Copies of this chain bind each other. A is one copy, B any other.
Amino acid sequence: MERGERILEAAGELLVAWGYRRVTIDEIARRAQVGKGTVYLHWKTKDALFLAVVLQAKLRSHRAQTARMRVDPLEVLPSRMMSGVYRDFLADPVLRAVYSADTDVLGRFNDIAKKELAELAAYGDQVVRRQLEVLREHGLVRADMDVVQQQYALLATASGFFLTEALLHDRAPHAAEERAHILAHTLRGALETSADPRSGTGTEPAAARTRAAAEAAASEIIPLYERLEELSEQEMRRQLRH
């Protein structure tokens, strides 16, 4: 394992275990079996290192997401996509901390990351907006609402599931799988046209038509996320020295 990867891993582990405030470069170096100076041979500053930790987590999630879309085009549907993102979120403690803005873990790094990654987040917004437009063109997303409003609905609803995760881990439905399903169901009802649960039986031809439309849409949407991956990688490289 590369020195850089070891440092990144150590930083991530310590971040979720101790919280940003308590983690020192000395401790990261010790855990990664390198000298303190070596950390600065790789990253510009402590914040840059933690930014890289966050970007790596997001990048992993983005890659998993595009992989799912390539395997099954229906994954471009908002309900399916967010369900996947939610599962990634639950599985990765770094993502959990970042998406739920966990102050105990992130401390003031919360604001730093938000500010530093604002540009990337803005591009992410653009991608989602374009995705909704494409899906709408293919009849997979309803047109009963402005796209910007739909995007807000998507963001706010998903945020609710992400944030209540931390807040209500007691009286919330137990299995993570179950909550991912509820999220998907909610978004499908709110935004999509396909597999309307209200019409009782889904007919076979309708399902086939939906799949065809999703395949067409996916060919437009996947490149958007590939570009987002590239920008994330670029941003991650920008945190390095030179």
* Residues 187 to 217 of chain A near chain B (Cβ within 8 Å): 187, 189-191, 193, 196-198
Residues of B contacting A142 with CB < 8 Å?
A: 197-198
> Per-position contact with B for A148-191: 1 when CB-CB < 8 Å, else 0?
11001101111111011001100111000011001101110111
Q: How many residues of A contact B (CB 8 A)?
A: 38
> A-side binding surface: helix, strand, loop or mixed?
helix
Any B CB within 8 A of the CB of A125: yes
Given the complex of chains A and B, what is the CA–CA distance between A155 and B101 in angstroms? 19
**B152 near A159 (CB under 8 angstroms)?**
no
Residues of B contacting A149 with CB < 8 Å?
A: 173, 178, 182
Which of B125, B178, B196 contacts A171 (CB under 8 A)? B125
Given known A149-B173, A149-B178, A152-B172, contact A157–B144 (CB-CB < 8 A):
no
**A185 near B152 (CB under 8 angstroms)?**
no
Given the complex of chains A and B, what is the CA–CA distance between A186 and B150 in angstroms? 9
Binding site for B on A (CB under 8 A): 101, 103, 125, 142, 144-145, 148-149, 152-153, 155-161, 163-164, 167-168, 171-173, 178-179, 182-183, 185-187, 189-191, 193, 196-198
Q: Name 20 A/B residue pairs within 8 A (Cβ), A-sorted.
A: A101-B167, A142-B198, A149-B173, A152-B173, A152-B182, A153-B182, A153-B183, A156-B157, A156-B160, A156-B161, A156-B164, A156-B182, A156-B183, A157-B161, A159-B160, A159-B164, A159-B167, A187-B190, A189-B189, A196-B198
